[in-house]
Amino acid sequence: MRKQLTKPGQLLRITTWLCAGTLLGLAACSSPSGSASAPAQLEGPTNSLHSPGGKLTLRFGLGADGVPAYQLFFGNKPVVQPSRLGLVLQNQPGLDKGFTVARVDSSQHDDTWSPVWGEVKSVRNRYKELAVTLTQAAKDDQKERQLVVRFRLYDDGVGFRYEFPAQPGLTYFTVQDEVTEFNLPANHKAFWIPGDYDSNEYTYTTSRLSEVDTAPIEVIQQKAEPHTVQTPLMLKSDDGLYINIHEAALVNYPAMMLNVDTKGFGLRSQLVPDATGTGAKAYLQAPEHTPWRTIIVSNKAPEVLASKLILNLNEPTQLTNTAWIKPQKFVGVWWEMHVNKASWNYADTSNIKLAGTDWTKLKPNGRHGANTANVKRYIDFAAKHGLQSVLVEGWNVGWEDWAGNWKEEVFDFVTPYPDFNVTELQQYAQSKGVKLIMHHETSSSVTNYERRQDEALRFMKDHGYDAVKTGYVGRIIPRGEHHDGQWMVNHYNRTADHMARQQIMVDMHESVRPTGLHRTYPNWLASEAARGNEFNAWSSGNPPEHETILPFTRLIGGPMDYTPGIFQIQLESWNPERNKGKQVHTTLAKQLALYVTMYSPLQMAADLPEAYEKHPDAFQFIKDVPVDWDDTRILLAEPGEFITTARKAKGKDEWYVGSITDENARPQTVKLDFLTPGQPYEATIYADGSGASWDKNPQAYQIRKQPVTSTSTLQLQLAPGGGAAVSIKPVGK
Amino acid sequence: MRKQLTKPGQLLRITTWLCAGTLLGLAACSSPSGSASAPAQLEGPTNSLHSPGGKLTLRFGLGADGVPAYQLFFGNKPVVQPSRLGLVLQNQPGLDKGFTVARVDSSQHDDTWSPVWGEVKSVRNRYKELAVTLTQAAKDDQKERQLVVRFRLYDDGVGFRYEFPAQPGLTYFTVQDEVTEFNLPANHKAFWIPGDYDSNEYTYTTSRLSEVDTAPIEVIQQKAEPHTVQTPLMLKSDDGLYINIHEAALVNYPAMMLNVDTKGFGLRSQLVPDATGTGAKAYLQAPEHTPWRTIIVSNKAPEVLASKLILNLNEPTQLTNTAWIKPQKFVGVWWEMHVNKASWNYADTSNIKLAGTDWTKLKPNGRHGANTANVKRYIDFAAKHGLQSVLVEGWNVGWEDWAGNWKEEVFDFVTPYPDFNVTELQQYAQSKGVKLIMHHETSSSVTNYERRQDEALRFMKDHGYDAVKTGYVGRIIPRGEHHDGQWMVNHYNRTADHMARQQIMVDMHESVRPTGLHRTYPNWLASEAARGNEFNAWSSGNPPEHETILPFTRLIGGPMDYTPGIFQIQLESWNPERNKGKQVHTTLAKQLALYVTMYSPLQMAADLPEAYEKHPDAFQFIKDVPVDWDDTRILLAEPGEFITTARKAKGKDEWYVGSITDENARPQTVKLDFLTPGQPYEATIYADGSGASWDKNPQAYQIRKQPVTSTSTLQLQLAPGGGAAVSIKPVGK
């Protein structure tokens, strides 16, 4: 129930801006566009809004020149010092200063909702809201304008956004820059990847804010300025606060990156630009609003992982029938291409035109993975082991020279290679009770994909597919647009919506990183949008700490299709030349643990069937582990070091524990007090073997079973780069 | 039949480049990227290729540094002085120098083909061809590369293009610039519009080349450099040559504009750039070729208008069934919007979102033209007067704020306004034997149109439409692309092709200017792509000379939907305030003559039914005049001054004559020696009335009939800004 708490001016008494020249160098107080700006000083007890449980305090006010600002405390500890709010517009005065407070609305909210799928059965959404209506007086030709800043304050963080009500003075407008700041009080430790308008596929750097410098890092696609990092940005303060900055509900707006002031420790919004070269970021029409800017904060690292703040800030789905949306495990004709056993392409040529090529006349290279017989082998394997589906990449024509040429007509999404029999495989899969997962690699030629998407989805429906993995490798067409810009954000969302209407599930790769939109589009099961497991196959790999950071960063926004479960860790068996020195940078047991520590409703058993058949005992965990949960407990967690998570299977009294470590061996003590008291269980522990280590002895594992109850404690000994996976099933009383 | 005339080096002996510093200022000989460059000097009788009838001579050769060049003569008169050829590529060495001649192929061709529709029943395609294969030696990492320059020399001009054969050294490449030059020997008179990457809707300036300066001209959309003009560029030399420079078969390439060297009288290709801001012009994949660069030349102006060179250089259609393609005359709910009698939009609001708006809840403004009753009135009118079809603009939702906001989701192309009953009108039109013409205004949000085009065409098919007028008003989305860039060129062509497959005729407005592609896509009946008649309704208007220039410029590439036939020339009857001082800048009789002088298979009777009903005698000419012809004779023509054209109706012994003048009154003597000898005819002459003039007395006309034969001569007296239209029908012997 909403109510207006106070009259304007009563709640919020702001005194003065401090032009903290000593802190921020030469920045002028009145310049919102400088690289550093002056923080506001907000005073007085009545400026404050406390979170429902009292943990957090938010202050909002106007500083000198009518500049809006906010401040956030965790208890008495400052989380965000006074920080500017506002937007600079193109070809008209900015919405960044000259405001007065016209109205302040406050309300509180508390309810519980059930996700279609997720880590928990139900989610509590409890916050206090402050909506401040700011007004700029009419001036010259400019009519009066209004801007609403809406805050939702939770016990584990805050979300706020800008809202542009319908008004005579503001209809169509272009956001040139958002000046939102997150001024941090000290030189925190940060877990960051460099700002890149087109890619998230970086390893993380852990450094003090003062040391952020992306320049030495090899560019993946289109790197931003040297002090720009991406969100979700994970921070840890010396006084024990864990802080995560990201955004929720990224709709009709570019992704937000953060410019780091390495001297003053301020962060400032850096939106991804559009193709015009004018610096334009977003084309908006009132009424409209920005995504939520989110700050999750706790003095306990596990609480950051457990936060549902971003999900809560997204809109509920409008789908009434969601029965067709099915969390699932799958295998795929995929890893064999990454380890050079097979190819996506059917022929070896570097010059193919989609139109006019007779694909039956091409000379097969003999290594094409997506051939009918091979796919049947995967279908058989999935059926035998109870995995729901089989992804097939490389099934459709166009892979001969699909990447790197900025070519518009690459794929048509409906023409199979001559050795891939769509109808035969449809019937075969159906007879085995297995689904095929469609693959739409766009090579980032998005105009081409959009023209053909209707037909591509009809083709799916006609051939029994109900899920698709999409891909956006390469430079975007429309040329000049970026993967993370407004135009592409709209494309991903439109695609998810379009597919939802057709009852198709989607897994997007190389898309923008998620912001909780899987609440709105529960058919959008997962995204990649980070450096996945396949980098271990052909690059310098992912360092052992990688998977202990991802849940604190990328996964804050939503599930990732990380493709865990690689058993053939040293890759020695396939192409010795190309795979020389390449290996997955974990132990085998850690690969199992990832199914629990990296939440996704869509989990691949990523390795080859033959690799699993060599280790049927270890594979049993992958067969057992659910992909949908009634409950989740983050038991132990420290970003960059370790994570131990326990989850309760959907609708069952079964628990699964995953525990992982970085390059350091470490013991983890797991209290099983989440189990039903009095109920006897059997725990099956998939642990690193004696002498195991990610680099020297990754495939050493041991499996043991032991009876446990809610009073038991498991002692897990994680090897360097190792992990442990545990299934806990009730036994008859 | 092709044959290799000579061995390399034998045919073409090139001596030296002259670094004509005195002529071209400081330009360096070796720089292909400067604003002016050095012409080649080509010598020796064996360098020459003569046109089939011997009128023209072409020379090709390599100059210093292996730079390719050509030269063109009309008899002994130089048309083009030695001029560079070649292309600069992005991120790799250019294809502009360092060549040797590897092979020279020569052939001749002579056949006759029949267009699906056109100005003549059959077209002779007679040329000599020279294909020169140029080679750049391998160097450093660069493999050997080949470039073919292919010339087709006609008696009325030449076409040449660059071809990129499939080759190991050149697969994917980006054209940064084309350095094609047309170095003219003197300071010719030019009829030009300023270079604009997005619009052709300018009035023409007639000036010497030395005086070309587009800076003072008001920009319509995105003007190029101050000395850049558009093609077709019409030129006249002091020694009596008429020269037209344009291009044919613009496919997968940006439009060519021309940079004018106002001191040296050189013209140089200026391609329209893409959105990246890198100066990239075209993304190509070998095998590929550029459009043909065309030079039409004659010492008789009518021969320029009669040239079929551009059509001949286009590919024949691949359609086997063309019976559904119907040249036609139409009326439309259109002019009443231009003269402020009605509106495209249904409601008056400046803020509408396509998604979520309940259009039935909007308050109608009471002026919406595309309402069911009004459309029925047009259907009745068309049926009564034997016009085939009715265009309806403003029928579909989204017009409230469709333009000027660079908004992506403007129209959906399938949702009618509440007062437009699609089914009722479909049935009504069918019962009257009239077709409705669909309207797809895209507001240049082309990504939106492409996503919806499939559905939009299905909607058309479902509702009995077989023709559509498309529109591209505003700035292009994908943002940063231009109307005349490669991406949009591909869009127009893809649209024409897509529609051809669905048996839909199309008339494109605000598209790139045509280059003869209506031979390949005969369903592409017409384009606008120039300043049409509607400018007379609400701007400073089109000067009286405008229609005497268009056939020498814009129409060289293909038919224009100019929308002639305005009878209510002073517009005084509708909205006195907004129309004050506005009028069409011709006489009424000239409006009739335009149906003959401006060839199109799609001709609008553009004025309101009530305007025609006031002048049924004059309207008779519009009812009579055909839109498809067996023969055409350009009788008298001088660009910017006058044109008199006679055409023979398709399959009938009827002739129609149109005669127009600029602002000067002039007599025109028309010999009717094209009539069948011995056959008596009756000529009906629609002439300017006594005292008529475009500005003072535009509606004065007189109609007289007289018997004529092939020995008759008509004396037509054209008023200032006036014209005459004549129908000549056989009478029983």
pLDDT in tens, B460-496: 999 999 999 999 999 999 999 999 999 999 999 999 9
| Per-residue pLDDT tens over the stretch A633-651 | 999 999 999 999 999 999 9
What does pLDDT average to over chain A? 92
**Which are the contacts of A141, defined by CB distance < 8 A and separation ≥ 6?**
none
The secondary element (H helix, E strand) that includes residue B427 is helix B422-431
**Distance between A371 CA and the closest CA of chain B, angstroms:** 28
| Helix/strand number for chain A, H first, E second | 14, 39
Task: Provide, as residue numbers in chain A, all residues whose Cβ is less than 8 Å from the Cβ of B443.
Answer: none
Cis amide leading into B287 (omega within 30)? yes
Dihedral sign from CA coordinates of A477, A481, A482, A484: negative
Pick A479's closest partner by Cβ from B275, B350, B490.
B275
| Per-residue pLDDT tens over the stretch B16-68 | 333 332 222 223 333 333 333 444 555 433 468 999 999 999 999 999 999 99
**Within 10 Å of residue B570's Cβ, how many Cβ atoms?**
13
Whether A478 contacts chain B with CB within 8 A: yes
Whether B426 contacts chain A with CB within 8 A: no
Pick A277's closest partner by Cβ from B277, B408, B481.
B277
Whether A353 contacts chain B with CB within 8 A: yes
* pLDDT at residue A675, as a whole number: 98
User: Tokens 């098919």 correspond to what residue?
Assistant: B461
* pLDDT at residue B41, as a whole number: 54
Q: Which residues of B501-524 are buried (b: 16+ CB within 10 A; e: fewer)?
A: eeebbbbbbbbbbbbbbbbbbbbb
- Beta carbons of A166 and B351 less than 8 Å apart: yes
| B residues 267-296 lying closer than 8 A (beta carbon) to A | 274-277, 280, 283, 285-286
**Which are the contacts of A347, defined by CB distance < 8 A and separation ≥ 6?**
A362, A363, A364, A365, A400
Whether A490 contacts chain B with CB within 8 A: yes
| Per-residue pLDDT tens over the stretch A423-462 | 999 999 999 999 999 999 999 999 999 999 999 999 999 9
**What residues pair up with B435 in beta bridges, in sequence order?**
B389
CA dihedral B134, B137, B138, B144 (to 10 degrees): 20
Report chain A's terminal Cα–Cα distance, integer Å: 48
**Distance between A497 CA and the closest CA of chain B, angstroms:** 13
- Measured CA to CA, the distance from residue B107 to residue B127 in angstroms comes to 9
Exposure of A415 by Cβ count < 10 A (0-12 exposed, 13-18 middle, 19+ buried)?
Answer: middle
* Percent with pLDDT over 90 in chain A: 89
- In a mutational test of the B interface, the residue from A447, A450, A476, A491 whose CB has the highest number of chain B CBs within 10 Å is A447
| A residues 94-113 lying closer than 8 A (beta carbon) to B | none
Task: Provide, as residue numbers in chain A, all residues whose Cβ is less than 8 Å from the Cβ of B481.
Answer: 478-479
> Quick check: B213 and B225 in contact, CB under 8 A?
no
- Measured CA to CA, the distance from residue B331 to residue B608 in angstroms comes to 8
> Quick check: A49 and A58 in contact, CB under 8 A?
yes
* Percent with pLDDT over 70 in chain A: 93
- Measured CA to CA, the distance from residue B324 to residue B117 in angstroms comes to 12
User: Token digits for B714?
Assistant: 């008509």
- Beta carbons of A277 and B480 less than 8 Å apart: yes
Catalytic residue among B534, B545, B547, B654: B534
Task: Provide, as residue numbers in chain A, all residues whose Cβ is less than 8 Å from the Cβ of B480.
Answer: 274-277, 478-480
* pLDDT at residue A36, as a whole number: 39
With vertex at residue B555, the alpha carbon angle to CA B549 and CA B557, rounded to the nearest 5 degrees, is 135
- Beta carbons of A481 and B481 less than 8 Å apart: no
Q: Which of A330, A623, A607 is nearest to A465 (CA)?
A: A330
- Beta carbons of A351 and B171 less than 8 Å apart: yes
**Distance between B252 CA and the closest CA of chain A, angstroms:** 11
- Measured CA to CA, the distance from residue B153 to residue B82 in angstroms comes to 16
* pLDDT at residue B9, as a whole number: 33
* pLDDT at residue A538, as a whole number: 83
**Distance between A470 CA and the closest CA of chain B, angstroms:** 18
- Beta carbons of B408 and A453 less than 8 Å apart: no
- In a mutational test of the A interface, the residue from B479, B493, B497 whose CB has the highest number of chain A CBs within 10 Å is B479
- Measured CA to CA, the distance from residue A406 to residue B487 in angstroms comes to 13
* pLDDT at residue A542, as a whole number: 95
- In a mutational test of the A interface, the residue from B451, B458, B477, B502 whose CB has the highest number of chain A CBs within 10 Å is B451
Catalytic residue among A181, A336, A481, A534: A534
Per-residue confidence at A732, pLDDT binned at 50, 70, 90? confident
Q: Which residue of A has its CA nearest to B407?
A: A283
Whether A448 contacts chain B with CB within 8 A: no
Q: What is the mean pLDDT of residues A46-55?
A: 87
**Residue B500 carries which side chain, given as an amino acid letter?**
A
The secondary element (H helix, E strand) that includes residue A284 is strand A282-285
Q: Which residue of B has its CA nearest to A488?
A: B478
- Kindly report the pTM of this predicted structure: 0.94
Question: For chain B, which ranges sit under pLDDT 70?
Answer: 1-47, 572-575, 733
**Within 10 Å of residue A215's Cβ, how many Cβ atoms?**
10
* ipTM of the complex as predicted: 0.92
**Within 10 Å of residue B109's Cβ, how many Cβ atoms?**
15
Q: Which residue of A has its CA nearest to B403?
A: A172
Q: Is B48 helix (H, G, I), strand (E, B) or coil?
A: strand
* pLDDT at residue A263, as a whole number: 96
* pLDDT at residue B223, as a whole number: 84
Q: What is the mean pLDDT of residues A337-341?
A: 92
Pick A454's closest partner by Cβ from B172, B407, B454.
B454
User: Tokens 């009095």 correspond to what residue?
Assistant: A678
Task: Provide, as residue numbers in chain A, all residues whose Cβ is less than 8 Å from the Cβ of B280.
Answer: 479
| A residues 363-422 lying closer than 8 A (beta carbon) to B | 401, 405-408
| Per-residue pLDDT tens over the stretch A186-229 | 999 999 999 999 999 999 999 999 999 999 999 888 888 899 99
* pLDDT at residue B221, as a whole number: 85
User: Token digits for B601?
Assistant: 């298979």
Q: What is the mean pLDDT of residues A692-707?
A: 97
Tell whether the model's pLDDT for residue A95 goes beyond 60. yes
Whether A350 contacts chain B with CB within 8 A: yes
Q: Which domains does chain A have, with CATH numbers?
A: 15-312 (2.70.98.10)
* pLDDT at residue B581, as a whole number: 80
B534 is catalytic: yes
Tell whether the model's pLDDT for residue A16 goes beyond 60. no
* pLDDT at residue B198, as a whole number: 97
* pLDDT at residue A7, as a whole number: 33
Whether B353 contacts chain A with CB within 8 A: yes
E-assigned strand segments in B560-627: 602-604
